[in-house]
Amino acid sequence: MEISLTLNGSPVSLTINPGDRLLDTLRYQLALTGTKEGCGEGECGACTVYLDGLPVNSCLIPTYQVRGHRVETVESLDPGALEPFERCGATQCGACTPGVVMTAWWIRQHPELLGTHSIRELMAGNLCRCTGYDGIVDSVAEALRGTGGKRET
């Protein structure tokens, strides 16, 4: 089947199978390999992308459900988005990092969420097996204080 969506700000049309997962479409059909597969069950958050502006697990989304919608992947972020994570020692093997950075920059775009939620709660859907979480939480706090990250287009 043929579908259209807005991907990282640009209109895209492609042919998919109804059973394709968004994660696989992004990685194998569109060569956007920044999005990683971790657990494949919606727990680890390595495959986090934005769907209509909200972080979601792309391993749990049939690609046909995003027809007509807006999807953003880690490739839409400015490379500078990584800086707070490098400074705070919040990266090691890198498998979780794209997802972590996606959720972190979503929080940065919605600082009002910190009126009801802690950084830790908002980051709970991104598991990291290397660094422990203090560095990640510090990085998000630093990102919230700083500027940049989202690519200006």
Partner 1 sequence: MLASDGAAIPMAGGTDLLVHWPVHVEAHERTYVDLSPLDPLKPLRWTADELLLGGLTTYWDVIRDARAGEEFPLLVDAARQVGAIQIQARGTWAGNIVNASPAADGVPVLMAYDAVVVLESRRGREEVPLDRFYSGYKQMQRRPDQLVVGIRIPRRRYAYQVFEKIGARRAQAIAKVGLAVTRSGAGWRVVAASVAPTIRRCPAVERLLETGAAPEGPDDLLPTIAQDVAPIDDIRSSAHYRTRVMARVLYHDLRDFWGQRA
Residue ranges in contact with partner 1 by CB under 8 A: 18-19, 21, 24, 40-43, 45, 48, 51, 54-57, 59-62, 64-65, 103, 106, 116-117, 121-127
CB closer to partner 1 out of 12 and 39: 39
**Smallest distance, Å, CB 1 to partner 1?**
11
Helix axes 134-145, 97-109, angle to 10 degrees: 40
Q: Given the complex with partner 1, which of 103 and 139 has the nearer CB atom?
A: 103
Q: Three-state DSSP class for 98? A: helix
The edge-to-edge listing of strands for the beta sheet with 2-7 is 10-15, 2-7, 70-72, 48-51, 54-57
Tokens 């459900």 -> residue:
65
Query: CB of residue 63 vs partner 1: minimum separation in angstroms?
Result: 11
Token code pair at residue 79: 């490379």
Shortest Cβ 27–partner 1 spacing (Å): 12
- Report d(CA 105, CA 22) in Å as an integer: 21
Q: Please say which residue, 41 or 152, places its beta carbon nearer to partner 1.
A: 41
Measured from the CB atom, is 18 or 79 closer to partner 1? 18
